[in-house]
């Protein structure tokens, strides 16, 4: 199956935290992307490439748009979609009052599959094609999520939450059942199509040391799987971890001690990190998910991007929405808030850095950069069509942009799901803003 997309393309040659804009960004004003069996096989200037393209290949042409690699969301909870905007509390009270109530609904498989379907459609509408997703403690919540993801053929990373203490009875497993249920899910889903499994102890306070050890064992026994958890999000949470694990030198040391650091470990938030913590992440290759809309909504604190990305010991960083503590599915809105968090910390996040964090930087952080994150031959064709004229205000403001960097800045400030014209997953258009039936599952895309 071959098809082609034509239009201006935005991709990255390198890291804009290290390189100037012109060297890091790869922009082509009019490119032709040729896709075969879900993979990009050629990216060339349209003027020359079109002449050589066989006549029977369909070309979707987006002259006024910007084609980018699909966005990657490195930290999000699909079961919390029903409680976005639950107001008033900081992290620990918010968990008790809203989160642990909502998550109990996922004992019901029909509910889980309904929410998983809605969640994936919202991600695709926002231009997010890959995400690291927390399900709930119920194995059925994972089954529902991967089943829906498989229908769209999206590359998703997800796992069953592990919690054996400090949570309602109905949301608790044990060190053993958590291990066994997760193992069965890995055997069933990891590497099936584009699905990837993530061992998911919620956070240190809701797992005993025994459960964290078992999580470490499970992760080690299944190379290629991921590990995700929360880290240093809120001062009250950090004090609690200190009380629960007095023998450990820091919050991160709790995870490190249990074998939960390393490549493909993703720590959500990491707001209150000291130099020892950053050095540990650098040394072990662990990644941080910066979740600005969540950190602002819960009043958690300000992530230190410049320190995290210090070029002498860079730590992998990606962006996360952290719904439902986060407030937007859109990575554009997440970049917008990341910019403001950087400003409040006395620094700046450039537009190139922001878009890199949501694409190539995230792919590197998740060790998926051989497959995702850029528009180049050999990469899976997860491609989004950004529309800088999506709203009357965007159209008006974009006309005053003097260069690409300004256009990206305006897109990340004013853009949201409306700025996503279409989303392609493995070469198929699964979302099209202009179509009455905006979504279609993989395999149904070519006929509409
Ligand atoms: N820490 C432990 N669980 C959660 C959660 O569901 N959301 C957030 N933001 N932090 C957490
Ligand atoms: Zn979270």
* pLDDT tens sequence across 343-390: 999 999 999 999 999 999 999 999 999 999 999 999 999 999 999 999
Dist. CA 175 → ligand 1 center (Å): 20
- Name the residue at shortest CA distance from atom 9 of ligand 1: 325
- φ, ψ for residue 349, nearest 5 deg: -115, 120
Cis peptide before 191 (omega within 30 of 0): no
Confidence of residue 444 (pLDDT cuts 50, 70, 90): confident
Residues at Cβ < 5 Å from ligand 2 ion:
268, 322
Q: Which residues line ligand 1 (CB under 6 A)?
A: 77, 91, 95, 99, 202-203, 230, 233, 294, 322, 325
Report yes or no on whether pTM surpasses 0.95. Answer: yes
Architecture of domain 2-69+373-432: Roll (2.30)
Mutate to test the pocket of ligand 1, among 99, 204, 207 (most ligand atoms within 8 A of CB): 99
Dist. CA 322 → ligand 2 center (Å): 5
User: DSSP label at 439?
Assistant: B
Tens-digit pLDDT profile for residues 143-174: 999 999 999 999 999 999 999 999 999 999 99
Identify the CATH homologous superfamily for domain 71-365: Metal-dependent hydrolases (3.20.20.140)
Whether 2-69+373-432 and 71-365 share one fold: the answer is no
Question: Measured from the CA of 325, which atom of ligand 1 is nearest?
Answer: 9
Nearest to 386 by CA among 360, 423, 359: 423
- Name the residue at shortest CA distance from atom 7 of ligand 1: 325
Cα(352)–Cα(448) distance, integer angstroms: 35
Mutate to test the pocket of ligand 1, among 168, 212, 254, 322 (most ligand atoms within 8 A of CB): 322
Domains of the chain, residue spans:
2-69+373-432, 71-365
User: How far, in Å, are 79, 110, 276, 300 from residue 98 at the CA level?
Assistant: 11, 21, 34, 17
Cα(312)–Cα(303) distance, integer angstroms: 19
């Amino acid at each position: 199956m071959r098809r082609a997309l034509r239009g201006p393309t935005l991709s990255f040659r390198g890291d804009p935290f290290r390189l100037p804009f012109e060297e890091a960004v790869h922009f082509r004003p009019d490119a032709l992307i040729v896709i075969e069996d879900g993979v990009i096989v050629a990216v060339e200037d349209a003027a020359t490439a079109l002449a050589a393209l066989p006549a029977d290949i369909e070309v979707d042409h987006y002259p006024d748009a910007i084609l980018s690699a699909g966005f990657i969301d490195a930290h999000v909870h699909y079961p919390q979609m029903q409680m976005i905007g639950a107001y008033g509390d900081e992290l620990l009270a918010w968990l008790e009052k809203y989160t642990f109530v909502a998550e109990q609904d996922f004992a019901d498989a029909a509910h889980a599959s309904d929410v998983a379907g809605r969640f994936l459609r919202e991600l695709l509408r926002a231009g997010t094609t890959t995400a690291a997703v927390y399900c709930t403690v119920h194995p059925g919540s994972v089954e529902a999520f991967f089943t829906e993801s498989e229908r769209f053929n999206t590359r998703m990373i997800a796992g069953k939450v592990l919690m054996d203490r400090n949570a309602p009875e109905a949301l608790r497993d044990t060190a053993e059942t958590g291990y066994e249920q997760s193992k069965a899910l890995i055997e069933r889903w990891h590497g099936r199509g584009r699905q990837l499994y993530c061992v998911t102890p919620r956070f240190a306070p809701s797992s005993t040391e025994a459960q964290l050890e078992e999580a470490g064992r499970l992760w080690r026994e299944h190379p290629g799987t991921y590990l995700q958890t929360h880290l240093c999000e809120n001062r009250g949470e950090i004090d609690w971890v200190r009380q629960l694990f007095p023998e450990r030198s820091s919050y991160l040391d709790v995870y490190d001690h249990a074998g939960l650091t390393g490549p493909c470990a993703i720590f959500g938030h990491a707001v209150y990190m000291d130099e020892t913590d950053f050095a540990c992440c650098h040394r072990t290759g662990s990644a941080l998910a910066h979740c600005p809309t969540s950190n602002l909504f819960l009043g958690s604190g300000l992530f230190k991007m410049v320190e995290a990305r210090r070029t002498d010991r860079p730590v992998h960083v990606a962006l996360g929405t952290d719904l439902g503590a986060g407030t937007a599915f859109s990575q554009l809105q997440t970049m917008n808030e990341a910019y403001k968090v950087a400003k409040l910390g006395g620094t700046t996040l450039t537009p190139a850095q922001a878009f890199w964090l949501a694409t190539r930087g995230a792919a590197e952080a998740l060790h998926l950069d051989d497959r995702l994150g850029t528009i180049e031959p050999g990469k899976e064709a997860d491609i989004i069509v950004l529309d800088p004229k999506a709203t009357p205000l965007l159209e008006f403001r974009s006309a005053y942009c003097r260069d690409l960097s300004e256009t990206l800045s305006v897109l990340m400030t004013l853009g949201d799901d409306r700025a996503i014209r279409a989303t392609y997953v493995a070469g198929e258009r699964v979302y099209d803003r202009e179509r009455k039936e905006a979504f279609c599952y993989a395999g149904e895309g070519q006929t509409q």
